[in-house]
Structure 1
């Protein structure tokens, strides 16, 4: 059993418009409980899928057993990447990958560097947990192995939990790969070009992101992000158009849904 760090209990609250986050220091019991010990789960609850264990800068699509609310819209699938993040967009595009993500620790990880490295997930119907297990940085192998998780819950809650963080996150080089902890969402608009027929220009709008301070992340810390109310929660016209939740909600009869403008 690993020794518990001597840090005093500390919870940092942060508001981000779409989410409010709580950062649990290593000594906080609540933060410790957020780590999902997959090895101790009952066999019929695991449904563990291992993949991406011998590749660098690769990703794999995962279908969810539930609709996951993310920034006020529902996701039916995600893309798990070896680089310590989940891509949440539908269109695989370099810039969108950088602006639509759930990133417990985005960095230049390479699972092919060690036979002990793996990336796996399990889905129990109400949550999907992705674990990056004993990964090494491609440009700093001697730093040691990193083990961390991201859990997406059906109520929209997102949890980052960290078991092994051998060096300060702030010391990880971003020269060959971005280093990020947090969330981001964006959308792409295709514009017709009048001067050139049948040619469209893509414009990417990153409308919001949650940046968790890198200095707050260490071994046995945890981050819990709770979704704030959005227009998506309203299922009829009246409550939608009269809502006062900080967003301008409007009802769409065609889609029979409430959305933000």
Structure 2
């Protein structure tokens, strides 16, 4: 069995408790305009272009089998519609300006990486499947989680919840913890900023609660989009409804902007200032204060 992965991060401290190995799978059912992993949006390999590393040698022009590269007045242009992500150009690039995001892995290959770090996981750490949306590859995700559980390794899935419910049923028994994104509280907002179905997100969250799974609600706060009192109250109400005590506020940062450019995409939030930890802490306090008022 194989799956498409664009990154494996060892000794991660941000994708669940303890020390973890985070596996980032390709493909996503949402397209959040603030996404910091735009290379995950599509399945299949994506060409990364680092303009500062380009020497202008034009080796890629002659190497590309589909004529996706050209130079106009010294500027390197890439026709993304033609590019197939074959990686031929990256092999001849002397300056490492061209790289490929995404690779097909066998379960055994991923487990070899995981087992290198197994002695560091302890009782809290383990493996996290993220993305993109890892449950868009449900068979691969389920098999990888099963291999981990068979070896006594803790498991976690980070998901936006916008996938068919069957995908969750495949991983319920082998996932210890779900990091569950709650981004927006209306379908109109999702249509504008992320795509996807809020109804599906809510139904899958209800499924996890029904099966008494451990869930951490992860809430990105984006200035000018969902940094409102209404959204804070919606988060609190959702946590109360499903008795979710663990809520992570994910403050906005624009660290993914360069990757949007490197993938040939436009980042529409360019110039939006990052949110500080202090501001994020205030939002967290507001959520818990509102919950106390409703108890």
Query: TM bucket by the smaller chain?
Result: under 0.3
Structure number with bigger Rg: 2
Q: Which has the higher helix share?
A: 2
Provide TM-score, normalisation by structure 1. Answer: 0.24
Q: Which has the higher strand share?
A: 1
